[in-house]
Amino acid sequence: MKFLSTTFLVAALTLISAVAQDSRPNIVFIFTDDHCQQALSAYDATRMATPNMDRIAEGGMLFNRCYVTNGICGPSRAVIQTGKHSHLNGFVRNGNTFNGDQQTFPKLLNAAGYQTAVIGKWHLKSTPQGYDYFDVLIGQGPYYNPPMLYGGIEAEATKRDHVGYTTDIIGEKALDWLKNDRDPEKPFMLMFQHKAPHRNWQPGPKYLTWLDDQEIPEPATLFDDYSNRASPAANQTMEIKTHLNDRDLKLVAPNNLTPEQLEAWNAAYEPKNEAYLAKRDSMTEKEIIQWKYQRYVKDYLRSVKSVDDTIGDVLDYLEAEGLDENTVVIYSSDQGWYLGEHGWFDKRWMYEESLKTPLLVKWPGVVEPGSVSNDIVSNLDFAETFLEIAGVDVPEDMQGESFGPILRGKTPRDWRTTFYYHYYEFPGAHSVARHYGVTDGDHKLIQYYHLDEGELFDLKKDPNEMNSVYDSPEYASKRKELESELERLREYYQVPEDPKPEPREPRKKGKSKS
């Protein structure tokens, strides 16, 4: 009888454990490429409405200070996978190959009983590991008719071709996995990752003419002359004025469209192009810049609009199936982006527009709806947060911290008050000098360490970062304070010295990749 009682107790505890495991929250991580806070109406409604992204903010928490560690596509993704800075995860610049054999949060979730999936943009060159299911773009992937790589832990990777608009295809695949492929007996983690709104911002058929009758407001710094800062600000190759090419501006149609897609494309763009070309020779330089800005920004916003639609479809499905109450939905992007600020497109800099990325988190019953956080969080924290949500121990060698307590409304007393940034890709696309720096949210120190130049900004007085006070006696003590903190953080994160790269021929203007 004692043996039977013990056996029954063990069985009961096992059953209770299984039920508890099955009740762990699902995680849907929605991720875009190059989406800035300025084009998400929960942050800034002056350019467009993103009602479905806003649903996440309205039902959860919006973070005003989510900073990225290295503002470029591939490195950001590697940081999220590993919870480690670029110098430790081995992926410091686009063109590197991610070492998928290393520890990643999907592997840890999978080992703890989560069903894991990644659908959409991967951009790490190596085949995804740690996912029961993956269906990802090959490389950067086109906006239309994408080849994709399908596979999983128990399925060999296979290439499949598709016809259609890539954003819509990725959205449909995410819904299909949720409806038909996931195991309803297991908690799941779905990474649902869009290519859009990456360069060169090709709108889907639904939005080819959307915004044609509207004028998008110009940023105050569109005609920046790059004075009062260190030399790198003037020496980049990412100006709307000079560096957008004909494909960016849709003066040339994409070369991979089906006849039907091309017909719709030409019907939308040819009349607009003809009107511009007919008057271009009589336009002033300022007027041409303004035309380029409108063309570029509208196409960017059109690309975002399709993404927002797919997010609505996923949110609707979760609600219709009753999954939303036990699903954490996170929205973010790999870094911010320039919508004409400083006359730029692209990212890379430690300046605010690219340093900050959107972060919205909806967790019913845990996160207060409509709440806002000004705490400094980072993509370095995503892996740790996902693990903590799932009840999985966070490995000691991860360098971020779970912001789960912030989601619960209880910011830890020892939460970070400063942040370390490091950009490595020079020589490279857009010629942005290598730099690292530190910010406390109110002041920012940037060091262009191979040029022996620096910048210091007072973000309260100069939020657009137009005037460096690096050499100002008034800010000497603040500069010394931040220099000391920068040294401390470099030691804390075990950052090695970065030797100067071998010089190489620069890319031709207008041909750079981003």
Query: What's the pLDDT tens digit per position in 219-271?
Result: 999 999 999 999 999 999 999 999 999 999 999 999 999 999 999 999 999 99
Which tens digit of pLDDT belongs to each residue from 279-337? 999 999 999 999 999 999 999 999 999 999 999 999 999 999 999 999 999 999 999 99
Looking at the DSSP bridge assignments, the partners of residue 373 are 63
Give percent above pLDDT 90 in the chain: 92
φ, ψ for residue 122 (rounded to 5)?
-110, -60
The pTM of the whole model exceeds 0.85: yes
Number of Cβ within a 10 Å radius of residue 367 = 20
* Burial of 87 (C-beta count, 10 Å sphere; 0-12/13-18/19+): middle
φ, ψ for residue 360 (rounded to 5)?
-125, 135
CATH of domain 22-202+301-416: 3.40.720.10
Give the amino acid at 347: K
SS3 of residue 126 by DSSP: coil
Domain ranges of the chain: 22-202+301-416, 209-293
Compute and round to an integer the Cα radius of gyration of the chain: 24
pLDDT given at position 506: 52
Cβ partners under 8 Å of residue 361, min gap 6: 56, 60, 61, 63, 328, 329, 330, 331, 367, 407
Which tens digit of pLDDT belongs to each residue from 158-204? 999 999 999 999 999 999 999 999 999 999 999 999 999 999 999 99
HSE-up of 116 (CA within 13 Å, CB side)? 23
Nearest Cα residue to 36 out of 340, 266, 287: 340
Cβ partners under 8 Å of residue 155, min gap 6: 133
Do β-strands 371-373 and 327-333 pair in parallel, antiparallel, or remain unpaired? unpaired
Which tens digit of pLDDT belongs to each residue from 481-490? 999 999 999 9
Which tens digit of pLDDT belongs to each residue from 399-439? 999 999 999 999 999 999 999 999 999 999 999 999 999 99
